[in-house]
Amino acid sequence: MEKEADLFYRQLPKVELHAHLNGSVSFSTIKKLVARKPHLNIEHGMTAIRSGQRRTLDECFQVFKVIHQLVDTEEDILMVAKDVIREFAADGVKYLELRSTPRKEKTTGMTKRRYVETVIEAIRQCKNEGVDIEVRFLVAVDRRNGAEVAMETVKLAEDFMLSTDGLVVGLDLSGDPTVGHGRDLLPALQKAKNCGLKLSLHLSEVPSQADESELLLNIPPDRIGHGTYLHPEVGGSQSLVDTVRKHNTPLELCLTSNVKGQTVSSYSQHHFLYWYQMGHPSVICTDDKGVFCTDLSQEYQLAASTFNLSQEDMWTLSQKAIDCTFAPDLKQQLHQKWLELRPTLFQL
Ligand SMILES: CNc1ncnc2c1ncn2[C@@H]1O[C@H](COP(=O)(O)O)[C@@H](O)[C@H]1O
Ligand SMILES: [Zn+2]
C-alpha cells in the first residue's frame, strides 16, 4: 500500500511554485561541493535538517549561510541550478518556478547580473538537454538588505524580464522575517508590480506581523509565501483573511519547512487545512527541499495522509496549481499535459 502511494505521488504531475535555489540543494550535490572545497570542513549535518529534527527559524538561516559558503562561484551556481532542475523533473514536477537572491559581488566574485545570467543559463541548458520540465525564475529580494538593494534588485529583475523571452517572470520577497519592516520595501515592490513583474511575498511567516502583512496585502501581491499567521485562530485577523479572499491571492504552503522550522507545531496543526476547507487557492510547495530533506511528492503524500485526502483530491490540488503559475502562456499546455497523464495514474 505504502509503495503504491509512493508511486502515485511520484507519478502525479506537479507544479512547484516556491523553491529557493540554495535551499533546494540535494545531498548528492552537497557532496560534490564539499569535494571542491575540503578546506571549509563542512559536513552534511551542517546543511540539512533530517527527519525528526527541528530547528528554530533563526538556526535555519544559519544553515543558509553554510550553503552560501559552499556555493560561491559561477561554476557552483550553474551546477547547483542544473542539479536542482533535474531533481524536480525526476520527482514528477512539470512546471517549476525557482527563486534565488543575487548575492554581493564580494561574496561570489561575480556581479548580481552575472548571477542571474548563470541561473538562466542553467535553465536553458536543461531545456536543450531535453529535461521534461518548464522552468521560470523569480529574482529574490532579501528583506535584510534594505530599501536601496531592493530597488536595485527590482531594476535588475525588470531588465531580465524584458531580455529573457519570459524566463524571468517575477520578484520574490524573502529572508529572515524577523529583520526589517516591509514598509521600507513598499516603493520597490510597487515599482516591480507596475513594471509587470509578478510578486510572490513571504508574509506572516512568524507571529505578530499583522501591520506589515496588511501593508503588503494591499499592494496586492500575486501570491503569498506561507501566510502562517494570517488567520484569526493564530493571532492574525479576519480582516487580513478578507483581504486575501477579496483578491483571491493564492497561498504557497510548505508543510515540512514550517514544521521543521518550528513556526507550526505539527503537521496536523498546519494552516493548509484552514485555507483548503475554505476552498481558497492553496498550492503545496517544498520551500527548501535540500535543507528540509523532502521533495514535492513527499509533501503531497504528507498532506494527503495528515488531512485524510484522497488521491483524487490530490490530483485536483495539483491541477488547480496550474492556474496559480506566473506563466500564462503555458497554462493551456500544462492543462493538456495533466489530461494526457491522468489515465496512467488512475489505472495504478
Ligand atoms: C524557511 N523559510 C524561509 N523564510 C524566508 N526566506 C527563506 C526561507 N527559506 C529560504 N529563504 C531565503 O532563501 C535564501 C536561500 O536561497 P537563495 O540563496 O536565495 O537561492 C535564504 O538565504 C533566504 O533569504
Ligand atoms: Zn520560502
Torsion of CA 105, 110, 115, 121, to 10 degrees: 180
Instruction: Categorize the per-residue pLDDT at 1 as very low, low, confident or very high, splitting at 50, 70 and 90.
Output: low
| Calpha distance 60→176 (Å, rounded) | 9
| Calpha distance 141→207 (Å, rounded) | 21
Alpha carbons within 13 angstroms on the beta-carbon side of residue 17 total 33
| Whether 168 contacts 116, CB under 8 Å | yes
Among 343, 342, 347, 348, smallest CA distance to 94 is for 342
- Taking residues 138-145, what's their average pLDDT? 97
Dist. CA 294 → ligand 2 center (Å): 14
Is the C-beta atom of 142 inside 6 A of ligand 1? yes
Among 46, 50, 82, 51, smallest CA distance to 66 is for 46
| Whether 217 contacts 249, CB under 8 Å | yes
Could you list the active site residues?
Answer: 205
Instruction: Categorize the per-residue pLDDT at 4 as very low, low, confident or very high, splitting at 50, 70 and 90.
Output: confident
The CA-CA-CA angle for residues 253, 259, 262, to 5°, reads: 115
- Taking residues 187-208, what's their average pLDDT? 98
Before 220, cis peptide (omega within 30)?
yes
In a domain? residue 293: yes
* pLDDT for the residue 348: 56
* CA distance between the termini of the chain: 11
| Calpha distance 348→341 (Å, rounded) | 12
Alpha carbons within 13 angstroms on the beta-carbon side of residue 202 total 24
Is the C-beta atom of 205 inside 6 A of ligand 1? yes
| Whether 271 contacts 264, CB under 8 Å | yes
pLDDT digits (tens, 9 = 90+) for 35-67: 999 999 999 889 999 999 999 999 999 999 999
Q: How many domains does the chain have?
A: 1
Among 195, 216, 222, smallest CA distance to 204 is for 216
Dist. CA 348 → ligand 2 center (Å): 33
| Whether 89 contacts 324, CB under 8 Å | no
Is the C-beta atom of 175 inside 6 A of ligand 1? yes
How many angstroms separate the Cα of 70 from the Cα of each of 38, 88, 179, 338?
10, 21, 24, 37
pLDDT digits (tens, 9 = 90+) for 115-134: 999 999 999 999 999 999 99
Task: Find the ligand nearest to 145 CA.
Answer: 1
Among 192, 274, 189, smallest CA distance to 226 is for 274
**From atom 13 of ligand 1, which residue's Cα is the shortest distance away?**
20
In a domain? residue 2: no
Is the C-beta atom of 256 inside 6 A of ligand 1? no
Is the C-beta atom of 60 inside 6 A of ligand 1? yes
In a domain? residue 1: no
Dist. CA 23 → ligand 1 center (Å): 7
The CATH number for 38's domain is: 3.20.20.140
pLDDT at 311 over 70: yes
| Calpha distance 287→261 (Å, rounded) | 11
Dist. CA 276 → ligand 1 center (Å): 25
| Whether 261 contacts 56, CB under 8 Å | yes
Instruction: Categorize the per-residue pLDDT at 238 as very low, low, confident or very high, splitting at 50, 70 and 90.
Output: very high
| Calpha distance 280→202 (Å, rounded) | 17
| Calpha distance 320→308 (Å, rounded) | 19
- Mean pLDDT for the chain overall: 96
- Taking residues 295-315, what's their average pLDDT? 98
Residue whose CB lies within 8 A of the most ligand 1 atoms, among 174, 206, 262, 285, for a mutation test: 174
Residue whose CB lies within 8 A of the most ligand 1 atoms, among 18, 20, 110, 294, for a mutation test: 20
pLDDT at 5 over 70: yes
**From atom 1 of ligand 1, which residue's Cα is the shortest distance away?**
257
Domain of 144 in residue numbering reads as: 7-346
